[in-house]
Amino acid sequence: MKLASVILDIPTQALDAPYTYAVPEDGGEGDAPIEVGCAVLVPFGGRRAVGFVIELAQDDECDWLDGIDPAKLKGIVRAVSRPYFDEEGAACARWLSERYIAPLSSCVRLFTPPGGVPRMVRSREGRWRLEEPAVGEVDDRWVVPGPALAAFEPRGNAVKQASIAEALRAGELRVAELAAEFGAVSDAVRALERKGVVRVERRRRLRGVPGGGRGRFEGGGGFSPSPKPPLTAGQAAALAAIDAARERAAGEVVVVDGVTGSGKTEVYLQAIEGALSAGRTACVLVPEISLTPQTVGRFRGRFGDTVAVMHSRMSQGERFDQWDFIRSGQARVVVGARSALFTPLANVGLIVIDEEHEGSYKQDSAPRYHARDVAVWMARRAGAAVVLGSATPSIETLHACAKDAAWHRVELPERANGRPLPEVRVVDMAKEFSGGSRSMFSGALSRALAEELSAGRKAVLLLNQRGFAKFLLCRECGFVPECPSCSTSLTFHERGNLLVCHHCGHRVPAPPTCPECGSPYLKKFGAGTQRVEADLRVLLDAMPSVGPDVPIVRMDADTTSAKGAHQRLLETFAEADAAVLLGTQMIAKGLDFEDVTLVGVINADTMLKLPDYRAAERTFALVEQVAGRAGRAALPGRVLVQTYEAAAAPIRAAAAHDRALFLRDELPKRRLLGYPPYVRMANVLLWGTDEPAVRAAALELQRDLERAVRDFGGDGWSVLPAVPCALAKLRGTYRWHVVAKCPSDADLSRALLPLFRRRKPDKLVNVAVDVDPDDLL
């Protein structure tokens, strides 16, 4: 008897073990075969459920039965999909579940197509039924010339047939295109088809691809790749290191530590070309905010229609089509955000993670994986190489290069075009304030804007937050309007005169007077992108050499929320002669405009004030990255960093392009306080609407963790006291956390996994484990 190990598609720790079912000898009710990776319909309790097959074996070969009599097992009803993943995908899902202490169903879901999985839904009457996938393939009907087209002469009154035949002489057309031009064409097309004048074909269409991606699944021809520029000595050395690591096929990691503009992308492109020439495929991960048309265009320019793209700004249907394109085997290169790792790309030889220091590579919901660590695990299994690229590699990555023989670091200390890095000047805003200035733009930045814009050049201004002003404060009683559901102040937005919570979306009109004391003296503190845009417009309009015609392109979470908005804003900035690009972190990396000669950082120390052990590292990386947007071509660049913390090590180090200065200040603090890379951590989060219940559960869990750590670990293992999170209330729920630590070479997950596997769910309190957290907020 053949048996199947099935993960139920029910994301809860209470059902976090595979269930065993018998595979019917006739294959079950449906026609699809039951294979590893497919979704199946199975009996579960008094109803049916959808699950995913992760293993198949004969009953006498099963090592997971644990004494169960195979004759008493329930049988799978039928398969309801083709396989989404193979045995290697199933192994990765299990590893993710154990490493990140996450429900198996959530881990398996990573490998399924967006919106393309059947699910069980409950009707109002309480009955369960199978609901088909929300999205699927789209087939178009194409009209193509038939053998009789050349000699076809329509009757005099067959006007529509004549029009269709004439249109087809210029090339193939979709039925929908003919209908848009000539109205209802079905009868005319059928008549022409009977005469052999045309043929009607059904072809797969890819949503979101110009022309529907016709030919993508059948293979295309006639593509000419973009020219390869000559490599610098540093680029050639980096490429050689990557090729050598790939050829050794041992899962090694190459860190390309290159300054902004050093040509890291060209190194990636030629390394991918080497992998493709060796018959392998490649996966390229890019931070979501850096997945610009510029980025995608460079890969498609080199590899054409063999490139698949996956990111969250695509519709669900578009992502399904790209996922299916990858599964077809026609895609050789996948470019996308962190989830692109789990697409069904076969025979991977190279995984590239660009801007590897970015926090967006850490998933913030179960399974809370880090793409870098998953990529390294996958590469070791597949005999592939991993490339991590950044101008500001994370401290953990630099530490691994120093300690692990399988990690290699290559430096690109100079820009590919030979241009120097821009001069960075730190402007002490405290001195500006004491000198009588109340403007958010220092005198130096105002003068620099006037000089560059009047000369027809462009500027980039970074503000690391959004909103019109950070908060309102009553100058009489000190009242600050707060969100009723989150422990945070409301952000003022000028457009609409609103107070908005950027965590839960709560919004109310801004009061004209203080709700507490009735005072009219409500002051706006802080500066968001709307406020900066308004003040910048006033500043530029007052400059005789600039005036009101210079556009200000604002990019933040508000202006880029619509589909395609990100691309349209960048195109507007690129097309202008002189312009200012004002934005949040999304403009700090990945942008390459030759005529940007000035970069200004409005307030560089925003993140330094966060209660986050990575605050200094994030500040250093952000300033260093945004400085690299200036002077990337023939024109020289300059950078002005405004700060109230001019003496802070991250600011001084970034201004001097001196990472060693930053590390000399930061690493001793990390070692003394017990933070990565010197320890590994798990942040156990608890939340619920009943504050006493959350507190009691946190204290109880602290005691359980202390016992687990004491039984498993030794020196260097510890559990910190349970405390409220920095954001203690969010969306109406109270939040506490407990942090466990162990030595950097210990297996923290192995110590904690048994505790959370046997822990019973609490109706009042939710619990989640974040292994290797990116922050403790």
* DSSP 8-state symbol, 582: E
Q: Which two tokens stand for residue 319?
A: 């992502």
Half-sphere exposure of 446 (CA within 13 A, CB side): 17
**How many Å apart are CA 349 and CA 487, to the nearest integer?**
47
Helix (H, G, I), strand (E, B) or coil at 527: coil
DSSP codes joined into one string, 9-21: S---GGG-S-EEE
**How far, in Å, are 429, 433, 439, 443, 663 from residue 436 at the CA level?**
11, 5, 9, 11, 36
Q: Which residues contact 632 (CB under 8 A, 6 or more apart)?
A: 260, 261, 415, 417, 419, 592, 593, 594, 596
Neighbouring CB atoms inside 10 A of 459's CB total: 27
Helix (H, G, I), strand (E, B) or coil at 50: strand
Q: Which two tokens stand for residue 493?
A: 């937005």
Tokens 């190489």 sit on residue: 385
Antiparallel, parallel or unpaired: β 458-462 and 580-583: parallel
Question: Kind and range of the H or E element at 471?
Answer: strand 471-474
Query: Percentage helix, strand, coil, to 5, in the chain?
Result: 35, 25, 45
Burial track 487-515 (b if 16+ CB lie within 10 A, e otherwise): bbbbbbbbeeebbbbbbbebeeebbeebe
DSSP codes joined into one string, 619-684: HHHHHHHHHTTSS-SSS--EEEEEES-TT-HHHHHHHTT-HHHHHHHHHHHHHHHT-TTSEEEEEE
697-702 long-range CB contacts below 8 Å, 24 or more apart? Answer: 697/736, 697/762, 697/764, 697/765, 697/767, 698/722, 698/736, 698/737, 698/738, 701/738, 701/767, 702/738
Q: Which two tokens stand for residue 775?
A: 């922050």
The answer to whether 189 and 198 have CB atoms below 8 angstroms apart is: yes
**How many Å apart are CA 400 and CA 386, to the nearest integer?**
13
The burial class, CB within 10 Å (0-12 / 13-18 / 19+), for 263 is buried
**How many Å apart are CA 626 and CA 765, to the nearest integer?**
41
Q: Which two tokens stand for residue 330?
A: 């026609």
CA 736 to mean position of chain CA atoms: 27
Please name every residue paired with 638 in a beta bridge, in sequence order, or none if there are none. 423, 598
Helix (H, G, I), strand (E, B) or coil at 427: strand
Point out the annotated binding site: 474, 477, 483, 486, 501, 504, 514, 517
Please name every residue paired with 735 in a beta bridge, in sequence order, or none if there are none. 687
Residues in the chain, how many? 777
Point out the annotated binding site for Zn(2+): 474, 477, 483, 486, 501, 504, 514, 517
- 474 phi and psi, to 5 degrees? -80, 120
**How many Å apart are CA 167 and CA 182, to the nearest integer?**
10
**How many Å apart are CA 690 and CA 762, to the nearest integer?**
12
